[in-house]
Amino acid sequence: MYLSILDYSIIILYLILVVSIAYYYKKFASKDLETFFLGGKNLPWYLAGLSMVATTFAADTPLAVTELVAESGVSGNWLWWNMLVGGMLTTFFFADLWRRSGVLTELEFVEFRYSGKAAAFLRGFKAIYLGVFINTLVIAWVNLALVSILSVFFDLTYTQILGIVAVSMIFAALTASMGGLKSVVVTDAIQFFIALAGAILLAVFVLNSEKIGGAKGLVEKLPASAFKFFPDIQFGDIKSSAQTLGITLGSFFAYGLIQWWASWYPGAEPGGGGYVAQRMMSAKDEKNSVFATLFFQIAHYAIRPWPWILVALASLVLYPELAVADKKLGYIMAIRDFMPSGLKGLLLVSLFAAYMSTISTQLNWGASFIVNDLYKRFLKPESTFKNKEEAQKKYIAISRITTLVIVLIGLIVTTKIETISGVWKFLLETGAGLGLVLILRWFWHRINAWSEITAIISPFFFYTIAKYGLNMEFPDGYFFTVGLTTLSWIIVSLLTKPDEEQTTKIFLERVNPGGFWPAKYNQSNQSKFTFKLLAWFSGIIFTYSSLFLTGKIIFGFWNEALIWLSVALIGLIILVYSVKRIFD
């Protein structure tokens, strides 16, 4: 047992705060489904944006970064840094469209965009597939991270630790179902600052310890390859070590040029989706939706990573005895060994806050699919009730029950999976090729429900063939799946009929996305396209440059820092100019 009374007091105060916020918003959340799942569609950009950032910081995130750094140095983070390209695309080309669509959930959009029985089937199928299957997988890997954290701090059996995780999930479910999305978002904002402060404090204490000797000492104690921001691209198979870090040419193409648009992945869906789309739709207007998503991209990629990376690098020096599979625990051990009483409790609160933020969001988001897109749409439509008030009251009650059911399923799934990275890889491989459909469905009239159904199912088929039939590993198996999945949905799109004219007309009149539509729909207004394209590129340049600038300053590489500062300023100037023209 490594915690003091002060540490426990901080944890208890945090729990009281979370319950108080949920209780405060209970009456507001009970009005109807829109207030429960979208916070009344009136969130300012900073709340919606902070909520996105907080949700992406789960308890597993610093552990995953520590593992990546242990395997491939700083450059190992390109496994997730590459997703900024798709994130910025979502910011400037889709955030306003999602808000303008006026739908309650991402799945309600399916029948808004597509027509016929295929659209109804797709909506119901995705409600179960995303709301239960994918959602509980995400919950399970977040739970596994909490198990790792608790195992370092407490001398408990696996069953006892799982019991604590169960109580934590139930607590998250009760608060999320009490206050709805509004309480989740407000709590997220507080959790973000707690988590960021905790990560920074840990990095300061670890770096300034005698064993490290500051950033300069860290640089002296590790090989230069560990501090490279870009991986060495090598031909043929390679094996990473402390002296030789790099990726194959195939992996570079997969991560840098294909994954951001081709793969569906929770939190980084091409074109927006999941809790990101939920926050975009909850913003008070289109401008707030875009600004919220822009803030999310900058904070997620440029502001938050370095405290994690610094502790991850330091853990390689502090805990060289850890096996490769356990390197991620170095982050938690650093909290245990270097944080004083009180601050240790704060760090645990920051990790628990990260856990709560993600779990609360997943529960609220998953329940929205089950209730709005399955129960309300197919089992108990609003027309079967005496009046709207009775219907909304029933739907809210079912939403709260559904939240608890998802908790139970999530706990069961937690006991069945062994590694977090295994779930990540599975989701990336089985979502390969779907991304482009999710992008083009806004702009191309040939995309229909059958296109999306094909793109969802095909990766499972081709992934199985690649892995078990042809013994293909990443990235070869990934290219195989992306290529054949893309070919499959294109063929299906061209062989099936476009959606009914009336459905398409309503979609285009409300959303006005521009794109490739027959002339009869009059979708020629694309005057902002050039500025959106400019904002996309400049946003990427500014964010990456800010990320690299911070790292160069920390490590004292001043000449390189000056270069990245110049690039960041150029990117910022162009970004500000472009955004102003978009909203003129």
Domain ranges of the chain: 5-428, 431-526, 531-584
Angle (CA) 351 156 416, round 5°:
75
Rounded CA-CA distance 49/288 in Å is 9
Residues 6 or more apart in contact with residue 233 via CB below 8 angstroms: 246, 247, 248, 249, 252
Cis peptide before 475 (omega within 30 of 0): yes
Q: Which of 377, 306, 258, 318 is nearest to 65 (CA)?
A: 306
Rounded CA-CA distance 481/502 in Å is 35
CB 528 within 8 A of CB 583: no
pLDDT tens, residue order, the chain (584 aa): 566 788 788 888 888 999 999 999 999 888 888 999 999 899 999 999 999 998 888 777 888 888 888 888 898 888 889 889 999 999 999 999 999 999 999 999 999 999 999 999 999 999 999 999 989 988 988 888 888 888 877 888 888 888 988 998 899 888 988 999 999 999 999 988 888 888 999 999 999 999 999 999 999 999 888 888 887 665 444 444 333 445 565 566 666 677 778 888 777 788 888 889 999 999 999 999 999 999 999 999 999 999 999 999 999 999 988 866 678 888 988 988 898 877 888 888 888 888 888 898 889 889 999 999 999 999 999 889 889 889 999 999 999 999 999 999 999 988 887 766 667 777 777 888 899 999 999 999 999 999 999 999 999 999 999 889 988 877 778 889 999 999 999 999 999 999 999 999 999 999 989 888 888 877 665 668 899 999 999 999 999 999 999 999 999 899 999 999 999 999 999 999 999 999 98
Rounded CA-CA distance 393/313 in Å is 52
Tell the CATH topology of 5-428.
Answer: Sodium/glucose cotransporter (1.20.1730)
Q: Which of 400, 401, 431, 426 is nearest to 413 (CA)?
A: 426
Residues 6 or more apart in contact with residue 249 via CB below 8 angstroms: 233, 234, 235
Residue found by looking up tokens 């490594």 in the block: 2
CB 328 within 8 A of CB 63: yes
The encoded tokens of residue 148 equal: 């790792």
* DSSP-derived secondary structure letter, 548: H
- In three-state secondary structure terms, 245 is coil
The encoded tokens of residue 225 equal: 């390859």
Distance from CA of residue 293 to its chain's centroid? 12
- In three-state secondary structure terms, 556 is coil
CB 426 within 8 A of CB 259: no
Distance from CA of residue 141 to its chain's centroid? 13
Q: Which of 439, 483, 508 is nearest to 447 (CA)?
A: 439
Q: Which of 553, 526, 43 is nearest to 280 (CA)?
A: 43
Indicate whether this model's pTM tops 0.95. no
Beta-bridged to residue 283, according to DSSP, are 43
Angle (CA) 7 8 12, round 5°:
125
**Continuous segment of H or E residues that includes residue 49:** helix 45-56
